[in-house]
């Protein structure tokens, strides 16, 4: 069982207006957040002044940014890769080798300035007939890990279906091959279930100690179209799945809401998801310390 569970939410899943997001978080007693974009701008492109202003806002409103959902490695490995439809949040995935190295360095510096020690990364966009390849030994990944280690920052790979590493088998292979102390797993439960995988004991017993961050979102399928809904309302039985995952996480773990809701539904979906998860996580903790929201 986890020693500590913290509940967070991606700020821009509530609103791209940070102050509006903070208002909702305060109403629900949520102090922990996840950073991606603010006012339509991906944080990896912020100036020193923008970084300092945001840091002041975090302090002013008593919010702690626990992690950053970076776009690192959500790029094409070569100029010849075919276009893949994906969410890029203002990030150009076609970069030169030097541009990739610069964005890695800059992102880590911004995170360090904001006191953020957990960064989501990906495993490069894949071609239609591509396999995972040996991303574990990718030289830019090694560079990112070394730069992050200097600042006590952990890189957490997410199982994103449009990227090379997104199945249980490729996640296990990747994390077995790369045992870097600051490389762990940002597990998106929905991303696995959407591609027909299951969350089972074998998978969790193998990778449980490397799971440091859990993304929670839910969906329904209607007329063969996936629609995202609040965490407690969809096809994924989080009442069962989330406690199972948490039972295999041996260290501190963060559970974070990602609604994927349309703009008009973001606030209501975020509120509903957070209320549901506070209740679920408190039940999971039972007689122990309640889930930490602040």
The three-point CA angle 154-212-131 to 5° equals 80
pLDDT band per the 50, 70, 90 thresholds, residue 151? very high
pLDDT band per the 50, 70, 90 thresholds, residue 289? very low
* Residues 41-53: tens digit of each pLDDT: 999 999 999 999 9
Quote the pLDDT of residue 107.
Answer: 97
**Claim: this prediction has a pTM higher than 0.95:** no
Q: Write b or e for each residue in 71-80: b if 16 or more Cβ atoms lie within 10 A of its Cβ, otherwise e.
A: bbbbbbbeee
Distance CA 136, CA 175 (A): 7
Distance CA 186, CA 214 (A): 6
228 with 273: CB under 8 angstroms? no
Mean per-residue pLDDT over the chain, rounded: 91
Beta-carbon-side half-sphere exposure of residue 171 (alpha carbons within 13 Å): 28
Quote the pLDDT of residue 51.
Answer: 97
3-state secondary structure of 238: helix
183 with 149: CB under 8 angstroms? no
* Residues 14-43: tens digit of each pLDDT: 999 999 999 999 999 999 999 999 998 999
What domains does the chain contain, in order, with CATH numbers?
5-285 (3.20.20.150)
Q: Is 145 exposed, middle or buried (0-12, 13-18, 19+ CB in 10 A)?
A: buried
pLDDT (mean) for 120-142:
83
185 with 174: CB under 8 angstroms? no
Specify which residues 101 forms β-bridges with: none
Report which DSSP code applies to 208. Answer: G
pLDDT of residue 155 exceeding 90, the answer is yes
* Residues 255-268: tens digit of each pLDDT: 999 999 999 999 99
pLDDT band per the 50, 70, 90 thresholds, residue 290? low
pLDDT band per the 50, 70, 90 thresholds, residue 1? very low
CB neighbours of 277 closer than 8 A, spacing ≥ 6?
7, 216, 231, 232, 238, 255, 257
pLDDT of residue 157 exceeding 70, the answer is yes
Quote the pLDDT of residue 132.
Answer: 60
Quote the pLDDT of residue 250.
Answer: 75
* Residues 67-125: tens digit of each pLDDT: 999 999 999 887 776 666 656 656 778 899 999 999 999 999 999 999 999 999 999 98
pLDDT band per the 50, 70, 90 thresholds, residue 251? confident
CA neighbor of 281 nearest in space, from 16, 30, 20, 13: 30
pLDDT of residue 13 exceeding 70, the answer is yes
| 5 membership: H or E segment, kind and range | strand 5-10
């Amino acid at each position: 069982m986890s020693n500590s569970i913290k509940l967070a939410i991606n700020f821009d899943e509530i609103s791209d207006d940070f102050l509006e997001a903070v208002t909702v978080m305060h109403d629900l007693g949520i102090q922990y957040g996840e950073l991606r974009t603010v006012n339509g701008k991906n944080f990896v492109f912020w100036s020193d002044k923008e970084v300092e202003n945001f840091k002041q806002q975090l302090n002013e409103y008593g919010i702690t940014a626990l992690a950053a959902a970076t776009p690192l490695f959500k790029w094409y490995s070569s100029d010849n890769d075919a276009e893949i439809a994906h969410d890029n949040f203002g990030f150009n995935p076609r970069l030169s080798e030097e541009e990739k190295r610069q964005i890695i360095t800059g992102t880590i510096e911004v995170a360090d300035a904001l006191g953020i020690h957990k960064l989501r990364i990906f495993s490069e966009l894949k071609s239609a007939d591509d396999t995972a390849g040996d991303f574990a030994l990718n030289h830019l990944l090694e560079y990112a890990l070394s730069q992050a280690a200097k600042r006590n920052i952990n890189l957490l790979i997410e199982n994103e279906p449009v990227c090379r590493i997104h199945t249980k088998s490729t996640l296990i292979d990747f994390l077995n091959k790369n045992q870097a102390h600051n490389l762990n797993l940002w597990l998106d439960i929905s991303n696995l279930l959407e591609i027909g995988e299951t969350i089972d004991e074998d998978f969790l017993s193998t990778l449980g100690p490397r799971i440091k961050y859990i993304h929670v979102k839910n969906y329904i399928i209607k007329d063969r179209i996936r629609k995202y809904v609040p965490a407690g309302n969809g096809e994924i039985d989080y009442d069962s799945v989330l406690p199972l995952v948490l039972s295999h996480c041996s260290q501190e773990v963060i559970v974070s809401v990602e609604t994927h809701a349309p703009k008009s539904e973001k606030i209501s979906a975020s509120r509903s998801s957070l209320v549901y998860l506070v209740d679920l996580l408190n039940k999971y903790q039972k007689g122990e310390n309640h889930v930490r929201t602040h």
